[in-house]
Amino acid sequence: MSMKTSKLKFKERIKVQMKDDFMRESVANAQTRMYTNRQIAADKLGNWEQWREMGMDIRDHVLENLDYYLHQLSENVKNNGGQVFFARTASDATNYVESIIKAKNAKKVVKSKSMVTEEINLNQIIERNGCEVIETDLGEYILQVDDCDPPSHIVVPALHKNRYQIRDIFKDKIGYEGSEDPEELTRYVRDYIRHDFLQADIGITGCNFAVAESGTVTLVTNEGNARLATSLPKTHIAVMGMERIVPTFEELDIVISLLCRSAVGIPLTGYVTALTGPREEENLDGPEEFHLVIVDNGRSDILGSEFRDILRCVRCAACVNTCPAYRHIGGQSYGSIYSGPIGAVLSPLLGGYDDFKDLPYACSLCRACHDVCPVKIPLSDLLLKHRQKMGEEKITPLAERAAVGAFNIINAHPLLWDKTVKIGATVASGLIRNGKLPLQMGAISEWTEARDLPQPDGQSFRSWFKNRN
Amino acid sequence: MSQIHNRDSFLDNIANKLGRPRQTEPVERPKLKHTCHHEVMAEFSVDELKDVLVNYARTALGSQAIETTKAALTTTLADVCKKYCTDEDNSTDTTQAPCETIVSADPRLLAIFDPEQLDTPEHIVHIWDTKLGYGPNIEVAERAKVGIVFAEQALAESGTMVLYSQPAQGRAISLLPEASIFVVPKSHLVARLTQATAVLHEKAKKGERLPSCVNFISGPSSTADIELIKVIGVHGPIYATYVIIDDM
Amino acid sequence: MKVNFFVTCLCDTVKAEVAKKTVMLLEQLGCEVIFPEQQGCCGQPSLNSGYIESSKPAMKNLIKAFECNDLPIVTPAGSCAASIKRYPEYLADEPEWAERAQQVADRLYELTQFIVNQLGTVNVGARLEGRAVYHPSCSLIRKLNVREEPLALLANVEGLEMLPIENQETCCGFGGTFSVKMADISAEMVKEKVHHISAVEPDYLIGADISCLVNIGGRISREGKPIKVLHIVDVLMSR
Q: What percent of chain A has pLDDT over 70?
A: 100
Query: Contact, C143 vs A380, CB < 8 A?
Result: no
Nearest CA in chain A to C62: A412
Query: Is pLDDT above 50 for B32?
Result: yes
Amino acid code (one letter) for C81: A
Note which residues in 64-123 of chain B have CB less than 8 A from chain A: none
Query: Contact, B151 vs B183, CB < 8 A?
Result: yes
Q: What is the DSSP letter of A379?
A: H
Q: Give A15-41 pLDDT, tens digit per residue.
A: 999 999 989 999 999 999 999 999 999
For residue A303, give the nearest of B14, B229, B237 by CB distance.
Answer: B14
Query: Is pLDDT above 50 for B89?
Result: no
pLDDT recorded at residue B166: 96
Q: What percent of chain C has pLDDT over 90?
A: 98
Mean pLDDT score, C51-70 = 96
**Domain spans of chain C, in order of start:** 2-116, 122-236
Kindly report the three-state secondary structure assignment for every residue of A77-116. Answer: HHHCCCEEEEECCHHHHHHHHHHHHHHHCCCEEEECCCHH
Phi-psi region of B34 (alpha: psi -120 to 50; beta: other; left: phi over 0): beta
CB contact under 8 A, A285 and B170: yes
In this structure, CATH architecture of domain C122-236? 3-Layer(aba) Sandwich (3.40)
Closest CA to A375 of A205, A153, A239, A209: A209
CA A423 – CA A444 distance, rounded (Å): 18
Mean pLDDT score, A74-97 = 97
pLDDT recorded at residue B91: 53
For residue A224, give the nearest of B22, B212, B235 by CB distance.
Answer: B235
pLDDT recorded at residue A147: 92
Would strands A209-211 and A216-221 be described as parallel, antiparallel, or unpaired? Answer: antiparallel
Query: Is pLDDT above 80 for B111?
Result: yes
Query: Is pLDDT above 60 for A424?
Result: yes
Q: What is the DSSP letter of B181?
A: E
Q: What is the DSSP letter of B32?
A: P
Q: What is the DSSP letter of B217?
A: E
Query: Contact, A460 vs C16, CB < 8 A?
Result: yes
CB contact under 8 A, C23 and A362: no
Least confident of A160-169, A307-316, A445-454, C82-91: A445-454
pLDDT recorded at residue A457: 87
* Residue A438 three-state SS: coil
Band of residue A432 on the pLDDT scale cut at 50, 70, 90: confident
Q: pLDDT higher for B89 or B174?
A: B174
Query: Is pLDDT above 80 for A204?
Result: yes
Average pLDDT, chain A: 95
Phi, psi (deg, nearest 5) at residue C83: -65, -45
Q: Give A38-68 pLDDT, tens digit per residue.
A: 999 999 999 999 999 999 999 999 999 999 9
CA B188 – CA B162 distance, rounded (Å): 10
For residue C35, give the nearest of A446, A451, A465 by CB distance.
Answer: A465
**Alpha-helical runs (H) found in A272-413:** 299-303, 318-322, 324-329, 340-351, 353-356, 368-372, 379-392, 398-412
Q: Give C115-157 pLDDT, tens digit per residue.
A: 999 999 999 999 999 999 999 999 999 999 999 999 999 999 9
CA C49 – CA A370 distance, rounded (Å): 19
Query: Is pLDDT above 90 for B128?
Result: yes
Chain C partners of A424 at a C-beta cutoff of 8 Å? 13-14
Q: Do chains C and A touch (3 or more CB pairs under 8 A)?
A: yes
Contact residues for A182 (Cβ-Cβ < 8 A; gap 6+) = A163, B226, B227, B229, B231
Q: Which domains does chain A have, with CATH numbers?
A: 1-46+312-396 (1.10.1060), 75-300 (3.40.50), 398-467 (no CATH)
> A interface mutation test: which of C20, C48, C51 has the most A CBs within 10 A?
C51
Query: Is pLDDT above 90 for A96?
Result: yes
Report the length, in residues, of chain A.
Answer: 469
pLDDT recorded at residue B1: 56
Q: Residue B198 CA to chain centroid, in angstroms?
A: 17
CB contact under 8 A, B60 and A266: yes
CB contact under 8 A, A371 and C9: no
Extract long-range pairs of B139-143: CB within 8 Å, 24+ residues apart: B140/B100, B140/B102, B141/B102, B141/B170, B141/B172, B141/B173, B141/B175, B141/B176, B141/B177, B142/A198, B142/B172, B142/B176, B142/B177, B143/B100
Closest CA to B187 of B154, B232, B234, B150: B154
Q: pLDDT higher for A129 or B93?
A: A129
Q: What are the distances in angstroms from CA C229 to CA B22, C78, C205, C208, C222?
A: 60, 17, 5, 11, 13
Q: What is the ipTM of this complex?
A: 0.96
Helix/strand/coil percentages in chain A, nearest 5: 55, 10, 35
Burial (CB < 10 A; 0-12, 13-18, 19+), residue A102, is: exposed
Chain A partners of B231 at a C-beta cutoff of 8 Å? 182-183, 186
Note which residues in 235-294 of chain A have CB less than 8 A from chain B: 242, 247-254, 256-257, 264, 266-280, 282-286, 294
Amino acid code (one letter) for C27: E
Burial A222-233 (b: 16+ CB within 10 A, else e): bbbbbbbbbbbb
Q: Which domains does chain B have, with CATH numbers?
A: 44-245 (3.40.50.10420)
Q: What are the distances in angstroms from CA B105 to CA A328, B79, B113, B242, B246?
A: 54, 20, 10, 18, 21
For B178, other C-beta atoms within 10 Å of its C-beta total: 16
Query: Contact, A37 vs A45, CB < 8 A?
Result: no
Q: What are the distances in angstroms from CA A89 to CA A78, A337, B14?
A: 22, 18, 13
- Terminal Cα-to-Cα distance of chain C (whole angstroms): 24
Least confident of A247-251, A465-469, B24-28, C111-115: A465-469
Q: Give A263-280 pLDDT, tens digit per residue.
A: 999 999 999 999 999 999
Cβ of A397 under 8 Å from any chain C Cβ? no
Least confident of B95-104, B223-232, C40-49, C230-239: B95-104
Q: Give A446-457 pLDDT, tens digit per residue.
A: 888 899 988 888
Mean pLDDT score, B201-216 = 97
CA A174 – CA A162 distance, rounded (Å): 17
Contact residues for B89 (Cβ-Cβ < 8 A; gap 6+) = none
Query: Is pLDDT above 80 for C176?
Result: yes
Chain B partners of A71 at a C-beta cutoff of 8 Å? 7, 11, 24
Report the length, in residues, of chain B.
Answer: 248
Count Cβ–Cβ pairs < 8 Å, chain A vs chain C: 198
Cβ of B193 under 8 Å from any chain A Cβ? yes
Query: Is pLDDT above 70 for B87?
Result: no
Cβ of A465 under 8 Å from any chain C Cβ? yes
Beta-bridged to residue A211, according to DSSP, are A216, A246
Query: Is pLDDT above 90 for B90?
Result: no
**Sign, CA torsion B165/B166/B169/B172:** positive
Query: Is pLDDT above 80 for B96?
Result: no
